[in-house]
Structure 1
Amino acid sequence: MQLLTIGINHHTAPVALRERVAFPLEQLKPALAAFTDLWRGRAAGDSPEAAILSTCNRTELYCATDDRAAREAALAWLSSYHGISAEELTPHVYALPQSEAVRHAFRVASGLDSMVLGETQILGQMKDAVRTASEAGALGTYLNQLFQRTFAVAKEVRGTTAVGAQSVSMAAASVRLAQRIFDKISNQRVLFIGAGEMIELCATHFAAQEPRELVVANRTAERGARLAERFNGRSIPLSELPARMHEFDIIVSCTASTLPIIGLGAVERAVKARRHRPIFMVDLAVPRDIEPEVADLQDVFLYTVDDLGAIVREGNASRQAAVGQAEAIIETRVQNFMQWIEARSVVPVIRHMHSQADVLRRAELERALKMLARGTDPAEVLEAMSQSLTNKLIHGPTHALNRASSEDRAALVELLGGVYRHSKSSEH
C-alpha cells in the first residue's frame, strides 16, 4: 500500500489560486465520492482510501492506494474537478509519497507548516476533515492509523515543546495592522462578517481594544446575534450590508461563501458616503469574500490572508528554538509509523502461508483418519502423517534452492538458515 499527499498551500501558491482549488464544506463528501469512483474500473483494483483537508492556507488530498500511477491520476482529477488546466496547477503542487506524506501530516497537525507557527486551529480542521472522510466511507486501515498517530504526535509536540508559545495569530495580526491605520481602535466602529471560529477569534482581539461599536453580520441571524452578545455588540442582517457598509471604519470578513459578498461597486459607494475617510478591510476567507479590485481604491486598505503573513512571521522568531525539538519528535514518530507500514505489507503473505499450511494439514489429517478407520496401528499413522507433512512443508524452500542461481542461492541459504535457527531457538 502506497501513501500519497497531493496539495497546494501558502508556501507554493498565492491566494488567487488557492481559492480556486478550495473545497467548500458541503462539497467534501461528493468530492471524495468522485475521487474514489475514479479508481473503479482501473486496472489498479480497489478504490483508494482518501481524505481532503481544505483551509484558507491549503488544499490537500491524502490517499492510500496500490495504484503506482496514483500521483498522475490524483493530479489530473484535482485539475479536472476544479476546471483548472494541469499546466497552470502543476507548478504549484507538491506530491509527497510514503514517509514524506507521513512527515507532512505530522508537521501540519503540529503547526510547523502553518503561516502562524504553532497555531492550533489547523489541528481541529484536520480532525474535521478526517471525520468527514469517515462519514463518507472513504477511510480505511491505513489512513485511519495515519491520522490517529498524527493527532497523537501533535499532542506530544504541543505538550513537550514551546512551539505554540507566544503565538501571533491572524486575529492579533489584524489588530496590529488596524493600529497602523487608526491611532485608537477605541474610536472606531468594527464590523465582522461571518460567525465562525476565525471571526470569533478576531472579535475577541478587537473587543479587547474596546472599539466604539462592535457589529456582527451573518447569514444566519441567530448565530450572529449570539456572537455579538458575547462582546456586548449588536447584529445586523447580512442583506443590509451594502446599504450600511459606510458606517464602519474596520471590516473583517470570513465566510464560507464560494463567491465574493462585497463587490467593488458597494465599496465605492461606501467610500463616497464616508467622504473618503479610510476603511480598513481584512479578508480572511478562501475563496475571498471581497473582490480583489477593492484594493485599488483610494482610502481603502484591504489585506488578505497572504498579506498578513509578514506580520505573523515577525512573531515566529521567538519560537524557532523549539522547532528543532519538535522536528526530532516527528522524525522518530515517522520512523515508527513506517515500520508499522512495512509490517502490514507482509500480512497478506503470512495469511497465504497459514492458508496453504492449513490445506496441507487438513489433507494429512483426513488421510490419517482413514488409515485409523482401516485399523492401521496409530504409531504407524502418526509416523506417516509427520513424514508426509514435513516433506510437503519443506518442498517449497527446497524447490526454490534447487532452481536458484548461484548468487540467489547464497542469499536463500542465509535467509532460510536464519529462519530455521530462529524456529529451533524459539522452542526453548
Structure 2
Amino acid sequence: MEQLTCVSINYKKCGESARSRFAFGEETRSGFVQAHGEISPVLLCTCSRTELYALCGVNDGLRLLAELSGVSAAEVEGCAMLYSGEGAVRHLFRVACGVDSMVVGEDEILGQLRTAYAFSAERVQLSHHVNMIFQSAVATAKRIKTETAISKTSVSHATLAAKLAAHSAPEVSVLLIGASGKTGTSLLKNLLSYKNVTVRATMRSHSGQAMLLPESPRLTVVPYEERYSRISCCNCVISATSSPHTVLTAEKLRDCCAGEKLLIDLAVPRDIDPAAAEIPGVTLCSVDYFSGLAEDNNLRKQDSVEQAKQMIEEDIGELRKSLVLHERLPQIRRSGALSDLTAEELLFRLKKKLSAEAFGEVVDSILNIEKE
C-alpha cells in the first residue's frame, strides 16, 4: 500500500518568524505541485501551519520542503513535526476537524484544507490513494462538526481579534487591511457584529471586490494606497493580507500613530513591521498572541475533542478497509482465487487464518447481510 508522508511546520513547534519562511504564494505552490505530480503533493498553508502531504519517504519530504523554502533539510527537520503512514492519515483527519488547531474547533481550517486539496487536484492527477484519504478526512470533519459540539461555539483568530478590538475602547474605529481575503471577510463580519465598532476597509485588489462586502452604515471602503493617512483617525488597525512583503512599516507608522493604537497582525509572513511595537502608545498583537486567548475555549471543548478522536479512529478503520479492497480486488479477480470456492469452503479457509475474535466478526457480518 502506498504510504502518505506529512511534514508539518506548525505553531506547536515553530514561532511566527520561523513559520514565515514556509509561507508560499500561489505561483510558488503551483510550480511545486506541477513539478512533483508523481508523488501527489498537497501543500496546506495557513497562518498557523504549512504542511506538505505526499506519497514519498519522510527524508524526501524534508528535502522537497527545504528546496522550496530555501533552507537546509536539517533546519526543516529541526522545526518540523513528521508523520508517515497511518500517523500521517490520522494527523490529516485531526487537522481537518479542528482538533489540532490553535483554536480548537475553528471552522476555517476545513475550508483551507479543501482549497489546498482542490488546488493540487486541478493541476496534477492525484493518486486514488490520496484522493480517498483527503475525501475521507473532509467527510469525517463534516460528521464531527454535525455530531459533536466541537464547533458549536465558533471561535477563530478572526473572532478573537474582533473581540479584542471591540473591547479596546468604548467606541472603536478600525482600519481593516485585506478585507477581501478569507480571513479579512471573517474579520469584517465579526467586527460589524459589535455595535460600537466602525470599519474602514481596504483591499489590495481593485477588481470590483468591494461589491462583495456587506452593506452597513458602519462600513466604508477606502483605497489601499491611503492606508497610512487613514490610521490617524482610527484607534485600531488590523491587517490580514497574503502579501509576501511588509504592508505597514515602522518608519511610516511613527508619523501617523499619535496616542494609543492597537495594531493586530493576522498575516504570516507578517504584514506589520515588528519594530512598530517600539512606538510609544502602540500595542502590537500578532497571530501567536491569540494562542493564550484560545486556552479557555480549548479547555471547554476537551470532551468534544475526545469524542472527535474516537470518531476519527472509527473512520480511519473504514478507510483502511476501503484502501485494502481497492488495492487488492483487481489481483483477486485476475487470479480467480474465489471463483471455484463455495461460501463454506471460503469460511473454512478464513477460519484457519483469522483469530477467533476476527473470525466471529466475519461470520456475524455474513449473517447480518440478509437483515440489512
CA distance in 1, matches of 2:113, 2:162: 27
Give 2:269's match in structure 1, choosing from 287, 291, 296.
287
CA distance in 1, matches of 2:198, 2:211: 14
Which position in structure 2 is the counterpart of 1:162? 149
Does 1:248 pair with 2:234? Answer: yes
CA distance in 2, matches of 1:315, 1:264: 33
Which position in structure 2 is the counterpart of 1:207? 192
Which position in structure 1 is the counterpart of 2:222? 236
- State whether residues 140 and 315 of structure 2, in contact with CA within 8 Å, keep that contact through their aligned partners in structure 1: yes
For structure 2, list consecutive stretches of 5 or more residues without a partner in the other structure. Answer: 341-347, 354-372
CA distance in 2, matches of 1:84, 1:263: 26
Seen in structure 2, the aligned counterparts of structure 1 residues 343 and 325 have a Cα distance that, compared at 3 Å, is same
Post-superposition Cα deviations, 1:58-81, rounded to whole Å, max 9, x if no partner, equal 11111124xxxx211121111121
Residue 190 of structure 1, CA deviation = 0.9
Residue 264 of structure 1, CA deviation = 0.9
CA distance in 1, matches of 2:240, 2:184: 6
Please tell me the residue identity of whatever aligns with 1:197.
Answer: K
Give 2:48's match in structure 1, choosing from 54, 57, 77.
57
Which structure has more RCO (C-alpha within 8 Å, separation ≥ 6)?
A: 2
DSSP 3-state at the match of 1:307: helix
Residue 224 of structure 1, CA deviation = 3.5
Residue 177 of structure 1, CA deviation = 2.6
CA distance in 2, matches of 1:170, 1:252: 12
Residue 32 of structure 1, CA deviation = 0.7
CA distance in 1, matches of 2:69, 2:216: 38
CA distance in 1, matches of 2:26, 2:296: 32
Please tell me the residue identity of whatever aligns with 1:217.
Answer: T
- State whether residues 166 and 172 of structure 2, in contact with CA within 8 Å, keep that contact through their aligned partners in structure 1: no
Question: Which structure would you say has the larger Rg?
Answer: 1
Post-superposition Cα deviations, 1:248-307, rounded to whole Å, max 9, x if no partner, equal 211111111111111111111112xx2xx1111111111211111212222111111111
Which position in structure 2 is the counterpart of 1:7? 8
Which position in structure 1 is the counterpart of 2:173? 189
Residue 96 of structure 1, CA deviation = 0.9
Which position in structure 2 is the counterpart of 1:87? 74
Give 1:220's match in structure 2, choosing from 205, 221, 227.
205
Which position in structure 2 is the counterpart of 1:123? 110
Please tell me the residue identity of whatever aligns with 1:56.
Answer: C
DSSP 3-state at the match of 1:2: coil
Which position in structure 1 is the counterpart of 2:365? none
Please tell me the residue identity of whatever aligns with 1:237.
Answer: P
Seen in structure 2, the aligned counterparts of structure 1 residues 210 and 98 have a Cα distance that, compared at 3 Å, is same
Total equivalences in the alignment: 341
Give 2:159's match in structure 1, choosing from 139, 164, 172.
172
Seen in structure 2, the aligned counterparts of structure 1 residues 312 and 6 have a Cα distance that, compared at 3 Å, is same
DSSP 3-state at the match of 2:7: strand
- State whether residues 51 and 130 of structure 1, in contact with CA within 8 Å, keep that contact through their aligned partners in structure 2: yes
CA distance in 1, matches of 2:129, 2:215: 45
- State whether residues 192 and 199 of structure 2, in contact with CA within 8 Å, keep that contact through their aligned partners in structure 1: yes
Does 1:333 pair with 2:315? Answer: yes
For structure 1, list consecutive stretches of 5 or more residues without a partner in the other structure. Answer: 37-46, 358-389, 391-413, 420-428
Residue 121 of structure 1, CA deviation = 0.9
Which position in structure 2 is the counterpart of 1:144? 131
Residue 343 of structure 1, CA deviation = 3.4
Residue 52 of structure 1, CA deviation = 1.0
- State whether residues 105 and 155 of structure 2, in contact with CA within 8 Å, keep that contact through their aligned partners in structure 1: no
- State whether residues 8 and 60 of structure 1, in contact with CA within 8 Å, keep that contact through their aligned partners in structure 2: yes
Post-superposition Cα deviations, 1:370-427, rounded to whole Å, max 9, x if no partner, equal xxxxxxxxxxxxxxxxxxxx9xxxxxxxxxxxxxxxxxxxxxxx989969xxxxxxxx
Worse overlay, 4-13 or 229-238:
229-238
Does 1:342 pair with 2:324? Answer: yes
DSSP 3-state at the match of 1:280: strand
More helix, by proportion: 1
- State whether residues 6 and 61 of structure 2, in contact with CA within 8 Å, keep that contact through their aligned partners in structure 1: no
CA distance in 1, matches of 2:123, 2:329: 27
CA distance in 2, matches of 1:281, 1:415: 69
TM-score normalised to structure 1 length: 0.74
Seen in structure 2, the aligned counterparts of structure 1 residues 299 and 225 have a Cα distance that, compared at 3 Å, is farther
DSSP 3-state at the match of 1:60: strand
Residue 104 of structure 1, CA deviation = 1.0
% same residue: 29
Does 1:268 pair with 2:259? Answer: no
Worse overlay, 173-182 or 202-211:
173-182
Residue 139 of structure 1, CA deviation = 1.2
Seen in structure 2, the aligned counterparts of structure 1 residues 63 and 341 have a Cα distance that, compared at 3 Å, is same
DSSP 3-state at the match of 2:222: strand
- State whether residues 177 and 238 of structure 2, in contact with CA within 8 Å, keep that contact through their aligned partners in structure 1: yes
CA distance in 1, matches of 2:162, 2:350: 69
DSSP 3-state at the match of 1:240: helix
